[in-house]
Amino acid sequence: MKAVQCLIFLPLCIVMGTCALSYDADIDIGSYEYHLEKWNSRNLLDYMINLKLWGNNNPISAKVTVKNGVVDSSIDPWWPNSDIIWYTVPGIYSLIKDIEKEIYDKRYGNCRYSLKVSYNDFLNYPASIIYEAKGHYYARYTIDVRGLEEGDLEIDIGDWEGHWEAWENQNMLNYRLEVTFSTDDYFASPTNSTALFEIVNGISVNNPNNFIYIKASTVPKIFDLILAEEKSIKEFHDGQFRASLNVQYNTEYHYPELIRIADHFSTGYSKQWEINLIPAD
């Protein structure tokens, strides 16, 4: 493993060789054991790793495909030391521990080493590795893992045309809409907020100043929102994650009462609109 470590983190090995005296090390590998256990419990064997490196030179990037837990792609020719053996997520976990041990055991000083690791909280792989020998070298790896098996689209907008026709036939022009918009995203705190619309003669008379709700201010706009989201998912889907769009309709008034969109794999992001229609007195 040490040979692989020096190939992948070659600048670190070189810098260690230039430092002579003992010095403090700032090491924070976060909840390593927790995330490693969670990753292993997923038994995820087929995935792609997108890797980027920022260092003293220009940033570089590479991709590696892993199938059945084994590397299944060649080396990017622009990656340093292109004869290295590609690593998997368990390999990255092992490298973190090797680097930590190397720093603690040899206590290379004059350099004041630091190692910082953060994790993807949805899939529990190391998402960022930052190490530095102050005055000598700095490197930051960012890692993004996406699945290969779960690349299908799951789109179910129901009988959109049938409900749209039934809604139009009612000729309902005066009503109120209570729209609750919520998101769930590991990059940010979940959101949940509600807006109330008054619709008179088919026009919303009290649009809030918020783009989230503009497209959901009347029932016809909500129907349009469904088609726009369907088109967007199909256009931007890259086959590396499973995306879904699901719509439910109110059986009495035939308006969309629930719209839910989710990226089940790469980010764990989801958003949804819950709509409640109150007919005018």
Name the residue with higher pLDDT: 125 or 2: 125
Same domain for 66 and 96, yes or no, is: yes
Same domain for 93 and 185, yes or no, is: no
Same domain for 88 and 181, yes or no, is: no
- What DSSP string runs through 212-252? HHHTTSSHHHHHHHHHHHHHHHHHH--SSS-EEEEEEE-TT
- Model pLDDT, residue 91: 87
Q: Whole-angstrom Cα distance, residue 238 to residue 232?
A: 12
- Model pLDDT, residue 5: 39
- Model pLDDT, residue 237: 65
pLDDT greater than 50 at residue 266: no
Same domain for 124 and 237, yes or no, is: no
Same domain for 160 and 274, yes or no, is: yes
What percentage of residues in the chain have a pLDDT greater than 90?
Answer: 30
Same domain for 54 and 143, yes or no, is: yes
> What is residue 103's DSSP assignment?
H
What percentage of residues in the chain have a pLDDT greater than 70?
Answer: 70
- Model pLDDT, residue 85: 45
Same domain for 188 and 205, yes or no, is: yes
Same domain for 216 and 130, yes or no, is: no
Q: Whole-angstrom Cα distance, residue 230 to residue 244?
A: 9
Residue of 108, 106, 107, 93 whose CA lies nearest to 29: 93
CA angle 258, 260, 266 (to 5 degrees): 175
Q: Distance of alpha carbon 21 from its chain centroid, rounded? A: 42
Structure tokens at 122: 């949805």
24 CB-near residues (< 8 Å, 6+ apart): 112
Q: Whole-angstrom Cα distance, residue 128 to residue 235?
A: 29
Same domain for 143 and 157, yes or no, is: no
Beta bridge partners of 116: 28, 130
Same domain for 194 and 125, yes or no, is: no
Domain boundary among 83, 116, 147: 147
Q: Whole-angstrom Cα distance, residue 61 to residue 56?
A: 14
pLDDT greater than 50 at residue 199: yes
Name the residue with higher pLDDT: 231 or 168: 168
145 confidence band (pLDDT: 50, 70, 90)? confident
Lowest-pLDDT range of 24-33, 64-73, 149-158, 175-184: 149-158
Q: Whole-angstrom Cα distance, residue 207 to residue 31?
A: 45
Domain boundary among 147, 168, 200: 147
Q: Whole-angstrom Cα distance, residue 254 to residue 166?
A: 6
When pLDDT is averaged across residues 113-125 and rounded to a whole number, the result is 86
Structural domains in the chain (count): 2
Give the Å distances, CA to CA, from 156 to 21, 152, 236, 261.
64, 13, 17, 10
Most confident of 65-79, 88-102, 254-268: 88-102
Lowest-pLDDT range of 180-189, 195-204, 252-261: 180-189
Q: Distance of alpha carbon 99 from its chain centroid, rounded? A: 27
Which helix (H) or strand (E) is 71 found in, with range? Answer: strand 70-71
Domain that holds residue 104: 2-147
CATH number of the domain residue 18 falls in: 2.50.20
pLDDT tens track for 4-46: 334 344 444 434 444 544 456 788 999 999 999 989 988 888 8
User: Contact 223/198 with Cβ under 8 angstroms?
Assistant: no
- Model pLDDT, residue 167: 97
